[in-house]
Structure 1
Amino acid sequence: MNTLKTRWQQQSLRWLDDRIPARTKHTLNLRSIFIFPSKFGLSYLLMCGCLFLLGTNYQNNLMLLLCYFLLALLLVCLFKSYLNFACLTLTVDPIQSVFAGNNAVLSIQIQAANVRPGTSGGHDDKFPQGQLHFRWLRQKSMFNCDLNQAERSIRLPYITQRRGVYPLPRVTCISEYPLGLYRCWTHLDFDQRLVVYPAPVPCEMQLESRSQEAGKNATSQPGHDDFYSLRPFVPGEPLNRVAWKNVAKGADWVSKSFSQQQSLGGFLRLNLSSRDIEKELGKLAFQVLQLSDNQVPFGLILGSKCVEPGSGERHKQTCLLALARYGTLESAV
């Protein structure tokens, strides 16, 4: 049974990929909308059938008239439900990278397909009405968005448990407006790839150096060793940094800057002999964050892959991405 279920899910995903391709902006239409009577709608239809049988059996014209009226209302709701749902355009903001165990958030913006942005007010009759229900495909947790409110957007959380780079599942959007007789839904792929970094594991710093390159790659960093230059004095700085000779001559207040030599040959290396590679990756993630916060240049060695020494936000993201991709199919990209 599990094998058949898996095959059915794979076939349904392939069919959805052909019918509703992945894109960051979706305007709902006949091809992407599915509509079917809800449980309440099926009960309503059953009641209409019972009224028709009773009215026919007892030749009661009022009962038949009521049955026809209810069926006409059911038909009107069919078109109204579809037209209200087909007026939607949904766009997403790029999803931000997170560490394993934290929740990623997909921000979905909801607009009216036939109304220009900024022209529709909070009570515009042209804007779709009712509530939208969002959830990840084949998940039960539902998140609601009231289209009658001024803020027409929703933040859909996604629980992360493992590191890596993988596509987000489809988002199911559901509407039962106006009377709950019909259930309109769609399964949208917003073409988002989520980067999940290893969860940081606190540890001691293990920065290896290459002695043969230490002399070549030395650079100046702020410190306390050698005099470097003079710069304008900033109120609140220690007075022992003030160049008092310059002040005594009547010049402007200036502070002394010092520098120290720091090697750029430091590398973080993955311990491949460890039985728990995920823990080792977490330790490296912790060290990457610490070194980046302290603006210490470093490199990263992951088996045959090497990230050259550097510093800054971009270098930190490069190293964290390498940790997230290590040992996965994405590592070859």
Structure 2
Amino acid sequence: MWPFRERLRRWWWSRLPLEDVCELSQRRIYLLPTRFGLLLIAAALAVWLGALNYQVSLAYALAFWIAGLQLVAVLMAYRQLAGLRVSAEGGAAVFAGEDARFFLRLENPSPAGRRVRVSTAGGERVEGALEAVGEARLALALTAARRGWLPLPACVLESDAPFGLVRAWAVLRLRARVLVYPAPLPDTARGRRDAEPGRGGGERGGDEDFSHLDLYRIGDAPRQIAWKVLARRDALASKRFSAEAGEGLLRLGWDDYGGETDAERRLSRLVWRVEQCERRHLRYRLCLPDGEIGPQPRQRELALGALALFGSRK
């Protein structure tokens, strides 16, 4: 029964359309009593049956009061979700095995505050309170199992406030994703010098030969800071030279692992070597079968992104 129910739920959720922004209306909100609500309904039925048998007016009043409370709880729970506008965005890229973060933005147009919960199929659950005519930003953390794009799975937005008798819920499929890099795998082998004629990688042009501008990194020397750029744009940038720290251009190539049959291990080793080059401020060129990425602004993000999406269409 339970495996069938889980498959049915996944099939239903997979058929929901992807949305950039979802506004919850009456057709999107479902209402069901909670366990406590079911217990209270059973108690009201028991009291009503007792009132029928013994003709006790006070018991009638108690039974109808409980029924009225249940009806009010239905309206109050529905009001917690009705009219909410929900959107999502992905967080920063992560490595496989780490937690990817998604951010849900909830806008409350109502003059009354609300309390909601957001949960996913993986069991992640966060709660938040929305002020009147305000908004809230909730963060969801999901474990990234493999490299590539990790889409935000279907989420359940729910609330049983204020009495806990009725649960209002809605299923959302929002368009958001996080890029997952391959997990680094330590590799002591170094990339060989790119000194082939015409490629311009292995020649030592001197430490003072300017190459390009890049984002400022903690630890860059003051002489590397582009002061004119800082004065003009109010943003820190660093100068990169053709041979930094006495090193030439390293070639990190796919063919460095000709004996490795597992493509994922190749990618993980290349990720580790890219990170080592970035930490040591070494210039490098990443060579893959579908292209090369040489020294340029945001080279780390471009190189790791190429490794994450290697072999995929997008």
How does the TM-score come out when normalised to structure 1? Answer: 0.72
Cα deviation, residue 58, structure 1: 0.7
2:280 is equivalent to residue 299 of structure 1: no
- Counterpart mapping for 1:311-326 below 5 A: 311-313=296-298, 315-326=299-310
Report Cα offsets for 1:154-187 as digits up to 9, x if no partner: 2111111221223221122221011011011122
Shift of 1:49: 0.7
Distance 1:216 1:269 in 2: 17
Q: Which residue of 1 aligns with 2:80?
A: 84
Deviation at 1:60, TM superposition (A): 1.1
Q: Distance in 1 between matches of 2:8 and 2:187?
A: 46
User: Does 1:11 find its partner at 2:11?
Assistant: yes
Other-structure match for 2:197? 212
1:45-100 deviations in Å (ceiling 9; x for gaps): 11111111111111111111121121112111111210222142223233221111
Shift in alpha-carbon separation, 1:64–1:45, aligned structure 2, 3 A = same
Question: Could you tell me whether the CA contact under 8 Å between 1:40 and 1:180 is conserved in 2?
Answer: yes
Q: Give the gaps of 5 or more residues in structure 2.
A: 210-220, 224-240
Q: Give 1:17-36 correspondences, 5 Å limit.
A: 17=16, 21-36=17-32
Worse-matched range after superposition: 186-195 or 304-313? 304-313
Aligned to 1:195: 179
Q: Which amino acid in structure 2 is aligned with residue 22 of structure 1?
A: L
Query: Is 1:171–1:187's contact at 8 Å kept on the other side of the alignment?
Result: yes
**Paired residues of 1:295 and 1:312 also in contact (CA < 8 A):** no
Residues 180-329 of structure 1: matches in 2 within 5 Å? Answer: 180-204=164-188, 205-207=190-192, 209=194, 211-214=196-199, 220=205, 222=207, 266-270=251-255, 271-293=257-279, 294=281, 296-301=283-288, 304-313=289-298, 315-327=299-311
2:300 counterpart SS class: helix
Larger radius of gyration: 1
Distance 2:222 2:79 in 1: 65
Whether the 8 Å CA contact 1:265–1:309 is kept in 2: the answer is: no
In structure 2, what is the Cα distance between the partners aligned to 1:236 and 1:7?
59
- Which AA in structure 2 matches 1:60? V
Which residue pairs with 1:162 in the alignment? 146
Identify the match of residue 125 of structure 2 among 142, 147, 161: 142
CA distance in structure 2 between the partners assigned to 1:289 and 1:37 by the alignment: 53
Matches of 1:211 and 1:305 in 2, distance apart?
20
Query: Which residue is 2:313 aligned to?
Result: 332
User: Residue type of the partner of 2:33?
Assistant: P
Taking the aligned partners of 2:119 and 2:135, their CA distance within structure 1 comes to 19
Q: Distance in 1 between matches of 2:258 and 2:201?
A: 29
Between the two proteins, the alignment pairs up a number of residues equal to 280
Give the match for residue 118 of structure 1. Answer: none
Shift, 1:34, TM fit:
1.4
Q: CA contact under 8 A between 1:103 and 1:158: conserved in structure 2?
A: yes
> Aligned equivalents of 1:71 and 1:147: distance in 2?
29
Q: Deviations over 1:226-272 (max 9, x none)?
A: xxxxxxxxx998xxxxxxxxxxxxxxxxxxxx975987683422525
Structure-2 residue corresponding to 1:56: 52
Task: Supply the RMSD in Å over aligned alpha carbons.
Answer: 3.3
Bigger Cα displacement from structure 2, 185-194 vs 142-151:
142-151
Is the 2:158–2:168 Cα contact (8 Å) retained in structure 1? yes
Q: C-alpha separation between the residues in 2 aligned to 1:221 and 1:30?
A: 69
- CA–CA distance in 1 between the matches of 2:69 and 2:3? 43
Decide whether aligned partners of structure 1 residues 127 and 195 sit closer, same or farther in structure 2, where only a CA change above 3 A counts: same
Amino acid at match of 1:146: A
Deviation at 1:143, TM superposition (A): 2.2
Deviation at 1:32, TM superposition (A): 1.9
The match for 1:171 is: 155
